[in-house]
A and B are shown apart, each in its own frame.
Chain A
Amino acid sequence: MARKIPKIAVYKFASCDGCQLSIVDLEDELLEIGQRFEIAYFMEVTRAVKKGPYDVGLVEGSISTPHDVELIKSIRKDCKKLVAIGACATAGGIQALRNWASVEEFSKYVYAKPEYIQTLEKSSPISEYVQVDLELRGCPVNKYQLLEVLSALLAGRKPNTPTYSVCMECKRKGNVCVTVAKGIPCLGPVVQAGCGALCPTYSRGCYGCFGPMESPNVKSLASKFIELGMDKKDIVLMFREFTGWSKEFREVDRLIEE
């Protein structure tokens, strides 16, 4: 019995294309993916486009313009399953830094004719506008998590994408904790696993590109950073990077003052 080949669509909103490149970066598996899936819409890779509906849509980028809002709604209608991939699509991305400032003022400085610019007040994750079936975190996403999602989709099983802390992966790897042994501030305890504890493996603190884990205790970790000698201002900036607009990290300034 011939198995029906699932149709894949890959979309991009406000983003750097890095997550789409992570798909292309699956070099060893790319041919197999091409055989098992029909790449129906993937502008980063090919101009050939097949009409929807699609079995699965992978969406990179954040929603930042009125045009994006309309587009994501129509994409949602076209895709049976919608997977938001990367920090932009799941938390608003680095461009969500503008959410704490005035877009209007920025536009004045950046564009000669700001009146031509149509943009939203805020850069938002996909889930702010449409129902998302699964979120893959990271800046960029981890290619093995992408592969896991695609394999699970074929097998009709739930993908194994844990929501606990980076520390779990870090300790399993046998890494020495950078915070305890070297006093390096690391967001690992409050950040979701999935990267394989990439930064701590190279003796750097986690900077949180996978966003908040399932039950992040931001306040307690911030207290630890104060104890390590960090300024409150720097702690806020540390949380406000790629996933700063995520619900749990957004209010770090208020949590520190509590």
Chain B
Amino acid sequence: MSSQQKTYFALDAEMFGNIIDVLKDLGYTVYGPTERDGAIVYDVLDSAEQIARGLYDEQSPGRYKLVKKNDKRYFGYVVGPQSPKYVLYPPQHLLFKVRKDGKTFIPQSDGKKIAIVGLRPCDLKAIEILDNVLLKGPYKESVYEALRKDAVFIAVNCVEPGNNCFCTSMNTGPFAQSGYDICITEFLTDRSHVFILDVMTNRGAEVVNRLGCRNATAEELDAVSRLMEEAKNKVRKRLNTENLKDDLYKNIEHPNWNEVGNRCLACGNCTLVCPTCFCSSVFDKSSLSMDVAERWGLWDSCFSIDYSYIHGGSIRQSIMSRYRQWLMHKLATWVDQFGTFGCVGCGRCITWCPVGIDITEEANRVRG
């Protein structure tokens, strides 16, 4: 926000809920952060009432807890168990349907336009990585492409980073740099509660115009800059990425792999909460009547034995080898394959691992 050439808008916090109505009026299906079963999840929002408020999360390895505070803050928490891939690349998706008469039906996009409110900077980066993986190669992932194409992203800067966040190490946060239509910074003091809006795209401008914002004042922008500086220092978890790839390659036989292999449950939770893990498998369904068959895509995980099944059997029998495969992909082989890390430092895999395995600690131990 140091650049003062751009125009920043300000919106009174009590007006923030209008953003849902505006997006709905523009024809979007709006996903946003809401409380369900003790966590913040992305669900379809019908009204602003459903947006979580006054909630703060406490995260540590293998633990997540929502705490209610007596304030009106909207974004006092960071990322929950779901990442935007739930919305943009659904866990189970129909690829095609074949009828006995030879007719094949390929589902076309129903033209549903998606808006996601409350995306964090790390998640924006994750979408950029998914774009690279799923859309840039010779074959495009059509399900993702259809949902992604017209999606609007209303991002939120993280002024209160969580304990498992390490975005500053991965250079993905706590502030959004790109990939959003509007980026919001929530500013809450005893005296005022405003949102400062940074508009990146025409689609974003269309939304802002309908919201009835005023221009942000110089004092407000200064205050936001201070918040940002403070927030950067609040990100405590670190992963030194210098020479990380080479260090990991050199330590492929490090004894710590066995140690973490003893703790890892191979349950697959880390891969399903990861915003960049894109692996899916396909399976076929045939009906009893034998006149229609369907092919479905389904989120898969490198932690399952079937995942590495090739002629003759699975090549990664031990849990150790599966954990090593996953961490190496995130922090080393992904770089060779796609040119970036496959990790954005969101910390979900740390929080939602039932036994609290911490990718930053394991990487550090292995490079020893």
Contact = CB atoms under 8 A, between A and B. Distances in A.
Contacts of A160: 283-285
Nearest to A175: B37
A180 B351 contact: yes
Interface stretch (B8-16, B57-65, B239-247): B57-65
A177 to B, nearest CB: 6
Contacts of A174: 41, 82, 86, 91
A203 interface: yes
A189 B273 contact: no
- Which of A154, A163, A168, A186 has its CB near the most chain B CB atoms (within 10 A)? A168
A9 interface: no
Given A177-B352, A215-B319, A171 B269 contact: yes
A219 B266 CA distance: 13
A224 B41 contact: no
Contact of B64 (A163, A167, A173, A180): A180
- Which of A152, A157, A171, A190 has its CB near the most chain B CB atoms (within 10 A)? A171
Interface stretch (A28-36, A97-105, A107-115): A28-36
A154 B290 contact: yes
B266 A217 contact: yes
B264 A220 contact: yes
B303 interface: yes
B206 interface: no
Nearest to B63: A180
B103 interface: no
Contacts of B284: 157, 160
Contacts of A186: 354
Contact of A163 (B36, B265, B306): B306
A178 B262 CA distance: 23
A167 B288 contact: no
Interface residues of A, number: 45
Given A172-B298, A177-B81, A29 B288 contact: yes
A117 interface: no
Contact of B354 (A33, A36, A150, A224): A224
A165 B306 contact: no
Contacts of B39: 176, 181
B286 A151 contact: yes
A189 B269 contact: yes
A164 B268 contact: yes
Contact of A215 (B81, B266, B288, B352): B266
Contacts of A138: none
Given A154-B286, A174-B82, A177-B81, 20 more contacts: A32-B289, A155-B286, A162-B306, A164-B304, A164-B306, A165-B268, A168-B267, A174-B41, A176-B36, A177-B352, A178-B37, A179-B62, A180-B63, A180-B351, A181-B64, A186-B354, A215-B317, A217-B262, A217-B319, A224-B354
27 contacts: A29-B288, A36-B290, A150-B288, A152-B286, A154-B286, A155-B293, A157-B286, A160-B284, A162-B306, A163-B306, A168-B272, A171-B268, A172-B92, A176-B36, A176-B37, A176-B39, A176-B81, A178-B37, A179-B354, A180-B62, A180-B352, A181-B64, A181-B66, A189-B265, A215-B305, A220-B264, A224-B354
Interface of B: 36-39, 41, 62-66, 80-82, 86, 91-92, 262-269, 272-273, 283-290, 293, 298-299, 301, 303-306, 317, 319, 351-352, 354-355
